[in-house]
Structure 1
Amino acid sequence: MKKWSAPLLLIVLLVISACNNTSGSAQTPDTSKEATASTITYQSENGPVQVPANPQRVVVLTAYTGDLLTLNVNMVGVDSWSKQNPLFADKLKDVPEVSDESLEKIIELKPDLIIGSSTSKNLDKLKQIAPTVTYTYGKVDYLTQYIEIGKLLNKEKEAAAWVEDFKKRAEEAGKEIKAKIGENSTVSVIENFDKQLYVFGDNWGRGTEIIYQAMKLKMPDKVKEMALKDGYYALSAEVLPQYAGDYVIFSKNTDGDTSFQNTNTYKNIPAVKNNRVFEANAKQFYFNDAMTLDYQLNFFISKFLGR
């Protein structure tokens, strides 16, 4: 057998390797890394969706605007509720208001991602404009929902870190509040909207997730009976005393009917007489996105603990 010198053997091997690299599928440049870098597959509740790995122009049609603000994601269109929220006003002053029916306007905004609700209209048409992901409210708990938004935006680590920090802060505040007001003190959350009063369970925004789930403060039995299952319960001002806890969080719409506050029925509620009604701006208090949760937690710390 003929012996090969080391340099000649090396040359032969390089030639064979070059030939192999120019045959078959190897003739096409490998763009898999490029594709992976530009898009990710998000496992939505309706199946996998290809979405941008780093979305730059997002339209939000439902109550997740505060989540995107916390994750520093640019939005080019938001829903009317978000646009009216004083908490978001500065950050959204140049962002147009859109809805699931303003399709032409959304097209003009050239979004690369649309986030909506499972009840949003025109979903088939929205999906033709940009990748569209929807969520069903209450399908997962409020903190898991934020992590899901993080996954969608390729920011799961940031979202998970925020959740852990928030849970710790809320738990610590809850312990301090219980120590101050007593383990058995009850807290109600009410809201006026137009001419109707509502009392809330433990998962319908208005800070209820923090009060009842994170802090584990007690809910009045009547509220538990009527509002816990559906999340909220409509009631008249006449029966409000039956639902008022030792402390009341009043999510107040100043443009709604607040005349009940002038009645003797309201004024004689123990929480009212003892200055234990804490009023919040309803438009800042509606939702349970990350930015709103931070605001609500600070509100409770201020009102209950005085700091």
Structure 2
Amino acid sequence: MKKLLFPFILLLVLIISACSNNNSSKDESDSVKEDKAKTITYQSENGPVEVPANPKRLVLLSGYTGNVLQLGVNVVGVDVWSKNNPTFKDELKDVAEVSDENIEKIIELEPDLIIGLSNIKNIDKLKKIAPTVTYTWGKLDYLTQHIEIGKLLNKEKEARAWVEDFKKRAEAAGEEIRAKIGEDATVTVIESYGKDLYVFGDNWARGTEILYQSMKLKMPEKVKEMALKDGYYALSAEVLPEYVGDYLIISKYQDADVSFQETETYKNIPAVKNGHVFEMRGEGASFSDPITLENQLEFIKKSFLGNN
């Protein structure tokens, strides 16, 4: 009797196991399909756009890379500036470099969401590949922009949490810095790029948003007059003393012409003579995303407060 029962039991076990495996595979397949099918309606500046609820393959054509990476979303293609940004070197090691003209390459990447600035080319072609959302540069302030990208990626809660925490830390550091250097002390931010020099207002990256908006540090009147409206102003080394306040921050590219720092005009600037010059790496300084902002906040604190 036992000999007759054993083959029957074995056959029954195999049938149940096969059914279970088939059901499991079916469940997994259905789950993937359902995940892909889930969308949310994002209210973009150009109207509502249906986007994936959980995007997994993003193409970024105009920055915003640090915003997306900070929110933990996978990136498969980025613009040349992001790709060459040393801040994201490790995260973008295996990510493709693309532009708004690389339509075929973008198709090959099979993105489920594309993000760019409002002036990108081939917008109609891009929309046929995947939902495409664009932003107008400067329309939103640097922190609100991160929250907006959080909404797009269905991660608004996480974005708001970071923004609130960052604001508190930056404001606290600002109070500490002002207490040390004086409420009326002025700070100037310039950049040496190639053979050009630029001075910046309060919303043009290079730490300016943190210094002037969050920390409430003051800029010289000449900088207000020439750079505040447009965000930046090109100037010559000869007139640099007119723009430099009590403290000077220089965003310096590796291949920049820094011969101006060897001139008597530069050396006689009070901020230079007092040792109040701080240099940051120019590569990557033009971004205003959370990863870059965290680095810049640490740079500013260390520059003004040392190890305090």
Question: Is the aligned partner of 1:97 residue 2:97?
Answer: yes
Task: Map 1:152-231 onto structure 2 (within 5 A).
Answer: 152-231=152-231
Residue 262 of structure 1 is matched in structure 2 by 262
Q: Provide the secondary structure at the position in 2 that maps to 1:284.
A: coil
Aligned partner of residue 90 in structure 1, secondary structure = coil
| 2:241 aligned partner | 241
- Deviation digits for residues 106-129 of structure 1 (CA, Å, limit 9, x no counterpart): 111110000000011111111111
Asked whether 1:302 is paired with 2:302, we answer yes
The alpha carbon displacement at 1:192 in A equals: 1.4
Count, aligned residues: 274
Partner of 2:42: 42
Q: Aligned residues: percent identity?
A: 72
For residue 291 of structure 1, give the secondary structure of its aligned residue in structure 2.
helix
- Other-structure match for 1:133: 133
Q: What are the ranges of 5 or more consecutive residues in structure 2 without an aligned counterpart?
A: 1-33
Secondary structure, counterpart of 1:250 in structure 2? strand
C-alpha spacing 1:55/1:36, structure 2 compared with 1 (3 Å): closer
Alpha carbons 2:117, 2:135 under 8 Å: kept: yes
Distance (Å, rounded) in 2 between the aligned partners of 1:124 and 1:78:
19
Alignment partner of 1:288: what SS? Answer: coil
TM-score, scaled relative to structure 2: 0.87
SS class of match (1:63)? coil
Q: Hey, what's the Cα distance between the residues in 1 that align with 2:284 and 2:297?
A: 12
Letter in 2 for 1:196: D
Report the Cα distance in structure 2 between the residues aligned to 1:171 and 1:36, rounded to whole angstroms.
41
8 Å CA contact retained: 2:35, 2:54: no
Question: Deviation above 2 Å: which 4+ runs of structure 1?
Answer: 34-37
Aligned letter for 1:235? L
For residues 109 and 246 of structure 1, what CA distance do their matches in structure 2 show?
50
Equivalent AA in structure 2 for residue 39 of structure 1 = T
1:83 matches 2:68: no
How far did residue 284 of structure 1 move?
2.6
* 3-state DSSP of counterpart to 2:288: coil
How far did 1:37 drift? 7.1
In structure 2, C-alpha distance between the alignment counterparts of 1:260 and 1:54, rounded to whole Å: 50
Of residues 284-293 and 105-114 in structure 1, the stretch that sits farther from structure 2 once superposed is: 284-293
Query: CA RMSD for the aligned pairs?
Result: 1.2
Please give the alpha-carbon distance, in whole angstroms, between the structure 2 residues aligned to 1:177 and 1:145: 26
- 1:19-60 CA distances to partner (integer Å, 9 max, x unpaired)? xxxxxxxxxxxxxxx689710000000000000000000000
Q: CA deviation at 1:246?
A: 0.6
Structure 1 gap segments, 5+ residues each? 1-33
Q: Distance in 1 between matches of 2:37 and 2:101?
A: 32
Q: Distance in 1 between matches of 2:66 and 2:42?
A: 20
Matched residue SS, 1:119: coil
Secondary structure of 1:165 counterpart: helix
Give, as a single letter, the amino acid of the residue that structure 1 aligns with 2:89: A
Contact 2:63 2:78 in 1 (8 A): no
What code does the residue aligned with 2:75 have?
M
Contact 2:251 2:281 in 1 (8 A): yes
Contact 2:212 2:219 survives alignment (8 Å): yes
**Aligned counterpart, 1:285:** 285
